Amino acid sequence: MRLLFCVTIGILLFSCEPSKKGFSFQKAPFEGLDTIATNDWWNRKPNPIIDVNVPREEVVAFGIYTVSNQILKITAQLFPLLPVETRSVRLEIETEKGWIEIAQQEVNEIGWNTTFRIPDWDDTKDIAYRLLHGEDSVFEGMIRKNPKDKETLILAALSCNSNQDRAGRPHYVKNLSHWDPDVLFFAGDQSYDHKEHTAAWLKFGMQFRELFRNRPCITIPDDHDIGQGNLWGENGKIAKYVEGNDGGYFYSHEYIKMVHRTQTAHLPDPFDPTPIEQGIPVYYTHLNWGNVDFAILEDRKFKSGPNGKIPQQGPRPDHIRNPEYDPASIDVEGLVLLGERQLQFLETWAAKQQEGVQKVVLSQTGFCGGAHIHGQLDNRLHADLDSNGWPQTGRNKALRLIQKANAIHVAGDQHIATLIQHGIDRFQDGPWAFVVPAIVNDYYSRWWWPEDEQPGANNNSLLPWTGNYLDGFNNKITMHAYANPDASSNGAGYGLVKIGSTAITFECWPRFEDVTHPGAQQFKGWPYTLKTR
């Protein structure tokens, strides 16, 4: 049936002049990027990332949603459409009278998705939904009720879905389904295919859709998602180099807009929607779910790039290998981390305290240097300017506001899992931070490995290199747990944060550990329970 349909369409397209039959297609405004982002995909070679020539009853790939303050936002992601197909997508919900249509929208042909925003959503009950295209394609799921009555809310956090492994993610789906988290968080690098975001996003969605079809899911893009190995966004300026270390975005702003629309349109409305330079949108916001208030940050979008602003002391502008350098010399006036807009957001968010509500900050990466060795065992860095340990003044501004909110911090990006309590003016006066491991860690590993191989003050007995340390920027940190890539999982896995009214438990699970079996083991050093009351 699929072959017959494709042959029929092929004959139709070949035998008709597109300009005369309404088959005109929109060319990508970013030449050389994303070969399936627009509707001439049928003229191209098969995509090596994912087969986009799916049967028409499978055109709706997945839906991804959040609910906050009684507003539902759900993005319908489609596989590429043929010229003769409708661009309309319908959203239906199940009621006592059967299925009813509540909205209909047109697909954006650059990226093949559309986002529904439904105000006055009843979050007191589970509501089945379905996304429909044409006569036959349907994606179904459940909009969960707000878990306000739960004593403990479970956040599952993941990051870094490397393209070194194109297979499915059955271990993650099975194990996380067993835990049944209330909300999912993907901290960035859902795509590692720098110039092919649409195909890579479809691949990511097909790998994980069984998890987020029935629960809220927060996704935020990081550097690899927008086509760069690292990102210092510098308020949206154009970068001169693909490495981006001079600050800004290297690829077309239209491409960047598409990536942001695809991954973040289903998040709650931004705190301040004013775009940055080049019209690039922002998404920093907060999400209320259960008895947790999540602040979602863009910790790279406004950050200064190091190239030309500080002395280079390594093979790259962002890598410092000189252990004798003065950390104060790179914390120069005028450097930005979160930027004034996000600091104002954090100030406002921190001030709104509610009895029984725990605050959690979600972002792309950690606020310190949490690794000594990068990529391979002979590559020891004294400081990595890609981390949010730099600039130190900006780091401390952010941490003071997170601490003011009595919040914890959850992030990804680093490939190595760490559990750290930050110090600002002194050790252990700052917030706790859990950086979760990579989903796949066969691309670029990192190790926590102090050069003197000595424990710090206030260390624990679970791992050898815990306790108080100064990172490569002279930031004070207390390391409580780390997962070097020495186990069979290569350090890959996921994090669980179990958030209760009086305690928060951090869990860190290896990728291949079957948690349905008795005796399943976490990475050494976890779980860790933090008393909050």
Q: What is the pLDDT of residue 434?
A: 98
Q: What is the pLDDT of residue 25?
A: 56
Query: Where in the chain do CATH 2.60.40.10 domains reside?
Result: 26-143
Which positions of the chain have pLDDT values less than 50? 1-23
Query: Where in the chain do CATH 3.60.21 domains reside?
Result: 153-187+283-362+364-531
Task: Go through the chain and tell me how many residues it has.
Answer: 533
The distance from CA 240 to its chain's CA centroid, rounded to whole angstroms, is 25
Q: What is the pLDDT of residue 26?
A: 60
pLDDT digits (tens, 9 = 90+) for 16-51: 333 323 445 566 678 789 989 876 888 888 899 999
Q: What is the pLDDT of residue 273?
A: 97
Domain 153-187+283-362+364-531 = CATH 3.40.1440: no
Give backbone dihedrals phi and psi of 9, rounded to 5 degrees, phi first. -65, -40
Q: Which CATH architecture has domain 26-143?
A: Sandwich (2.60)
- Rg over alpha carbons for the chain, rounded to the nearest Å, is 23
What DSSP string describes 465-514?
Answer: S-EEEE-TT--EEEEEEEE-TTSTTTT-EEEEEEE-SSEEEEEEEETT--
Q: How far apart are CA 196 and CA 530, in angstroms?
A: 41
pLDDT digits (tens, 9 = 90+) for 268-292: 999 999 999 999 999 999 999 999 9
CA nearest to 144, candidates 214, 94, 213, 224: 214
